[in-house]
Amino acid sequence: MNRGAASLAQKAGFQTDEKALIRAAQEGDQDAFGQLVRAYDQSVLRLAMNLLRSPEDAQDVYQEAFLRVYRNLNHFRFDCSFHTWLYRIVTNLCLDQMRKRKVRKEESSQMEGSEGPVDRMDTFQESRPEGDPQRSMFIGQLRERIQKAMAELTARERMVFELRHYQGLKLRNIGEILGTTEEAAKNCLFRATQKMRVALGDFV
Amino acid sequence: MNTCEKVRMQLGLLLYGELSFDEEETVDAHLESCAECRAALERERELHAAFDAQEIEPPASVLWESRQNLQRQIAAEHSPSPRVSWWDQFLDARWLRSAGALALLSIGFFGARMFPSLGLGITGMSMVDPGAQRVRSVEPGPNGGIQIVLDETRQRVVSGGLDDQNIRVLLLSAAKDPSDPGLRYETVGILNDRAQAAEVRDTLIYALEHDENAGVRLKAMDGLRPFVKQPEVRKALSGVLLSDGNPGMRTQAIDLLTQGVGESTNPALGRDIIGTLQELMNRENNAYVRQRGERVLQLVNASQETY
More confident residue, B259 or A51: A51
For A127, the closest of B62, B67, B247 (CB atoms) is B247
Average pLDDT over residues A131-150: 77
Give pLDDT tens digits for B34-69: 999 999 999 899 889 888 888 888 888 888 889 989
Q: Do B247 and A121 touch (CB under 8 A)?
A: no
Q: If DSSP states are collapsed to H, E and C, what string results for A32-61?
A: HHHHHHHHHHHHHHHHHHHHHCCHHHHHHH
Give pLDDT tens digits for A170-199: 999 999 999 999 999 999 999 999 999 888
Query: Can you tell me whether residue B241 is helix, strand or coil?
Result: helix
Say how many C-beta atoms besides its own lie within 10 A of residue B6's C-beta.
13
Give me the CATH topology for the region A127-204: Arc Repressor Mutant, subunit A (1.10.10)
Which residues from A are below 8 Å from B286, CB to CB? 122-123, 125, 127, 129
Please tell me the pTM assigned to this model: 0.53
Query: In whole angstroms, what is the distance from residue A5 CA to residue A49 CA?
Result: 34
Radius of gyration, CA atoms only, chain B:
29
Q: Do B291 and A143 touch (CB under 8 A)?
A: no
> Domain coordinates of chain A in residue numbers?
1-106, 127-204
- What is the model's pLDDT at position B126? 31
**Closest of A31, A153, A111, A90 to residue B290, by C-alpha:** A111
Would the pLDDT of A123 be above 50? Answer: yes
A112 Cα to chain B: minimum distance (Å):
9
Which residues from A are below 8 Å from B11, CB to CB? none
Query: In whole angstroms, what is the distance from residue A131 CA to residue A133 CA?
Result: 6
Would the pLDDT of B247 be above 90? Answer: no
Percentage of residues of chain A with pLDDT beyond 90 = 55
Would the pLDDT of A120 be above 60? Answer: no
A182-186, B186-190, B289-293, B300-304 — most confident range: A182-186
Residue A165 · residue A79 · CB < 8 Å: no
Candidates B240, B279, B288: best to mutate against A (most CBs of A within 10 A) is B288
Which residues from A are below 8 Å from B58, CB to CB? 42, 45-46, 49, 55, 58, 124
Would the pLDDT of B131 be above 70? Answer: no
- Residue B19 contacts A where some CB pair is shorter than 8 Å: no
Q: Do B283 and A129 touch (CB under 8 A)?
A: yes
Which residues from B are below 8 Å from A144, CB to CB? 287
B106 Cα to chain A: minimum distance (Å):
18
- Residue B146 contacts A where some CB pair is shorter than 8 Å: no
Query: In whole angstroms, what is the distance from residue A165 CA to residue B16 CA?
Result: 8
Would the pLDDT of A138 be above 90? Answer: no
Candidates B18, B280, B296: best to mutate against A (most CBs of A within 10 A) is B18
Q: Do B288 and A119 touch (CB under 8 A)?
A: yes
Query: In whole angstroms, what is the distance from residue B52 CA to residue B46 CA?
Result: 10
**Closest of B65, B105, B79 to residue A60, by C-alpha:** B65
Query: Can you tell me whether residue B277 is helix, strand or coil?
Result: helix
Give pLDDT tens digits for B174-183: 888 777 777 8
Residue B148 belongs to what H/E stretch?
strand B146-153
Residue B128 · residue B108 · CB < 8 Å: yes
Percentage of residues of chain B with pLDDT beyond 70 = 71
Average pLDDT over all residues of chain B:
76
Q: What is the count of residue pairs from A and B with beta carbons less than 8 Å apart?
A: 155
Same fold, A1-106 and A127-204: no
Query: In whole angstroms, what is the distance from residue A38 CA to residue B283 CA?
Result: 38
Average pLDDT over residues B151-159: 68
Interface of B with A in 276-295 (CB under 8 A): 280, 282-289, 291, 294-295
Average pLDDT over residues B198-209: 91
Interface of B with A in 58-77 (CB under 8 A): 58-59, 62-63, 65-67, 69-70, 73-74, 77
Query: In whole angstroms, what is the distance from residue B276 CA to residue B227 CA?
Result: 19
Q: Do B247 and A130 touch (CB under 8 A)?
A: no
The sign one gets for the Cα dihedral B43, B45, B46, B50 is positive
> Domain coordinates of chain B in residue numbers?
3-42, 228-307
For the residues of B72-92, what is the DSSP string, one character each?
HHHHHHH-S--PPPHHHHHS-
Say which range, A152-161, B114-123, B286-295, has the weakest mean pLDDT.
B114-123
Would the pLDDT of A88 be above 70? Answer: yes
Query: In whole angstroms, what is the distance from residue A165 CA to residue A196 CA?
Result: 13
Rounded to 5 degrees, φ, ψ at A43 are: -65, -40
ipTM attached to this prediction: 0.81
Q: Do A196 and B294 touch (CB under 8 A)?
A: no
Interface of B with A in 234-273 (CB under 8 A): 242, 245-248, 250-251
- Residue B56 contacts A where some CB pair is shorter than 8 Å: yes
What lies within 8 Å, CB to CB, of B178 at 6+ separation is none
CATH dotted code for A1-106: 1.10.1740.10
For the residues of B163-217, what is the DSSP string, one character each?
TSHHHHHHHHHHTT-TT-HHHHHHHHHHHGGGTTSHHHHHHHHHHHHH-S-HHHH
Give pLDDT tens digits for B81-118: 444 443 344 334 444 444 444 444 344 334 333 333 32
Q: What does each C-alpha distance from A153 to A141, A156, B75, B188 come to in angstroms?
A: 19, 8, 39, 42
- What is the model's pLDDT at position B142? 64
Average pLDDT over residues A22-29: 92
Q: Do B47 and A196 touch (CB under 8 A)?
A: yes
Which residues from A are below 8 Å from B246, CB to CB? 123, 126
Query: In whole angstroms, what is the distance from residue B36 CA to residue B48 CA?
Result: 19
- Residue B305 contacts A where some CB pair is shorter than 8 Å: no
Query: Can you tell me whether residue A84 is helix, strand or coil?
Result: helix
Query: In whole angstroms, what is the distance from residue A54 CA to residue A43 CA?
Result: 15
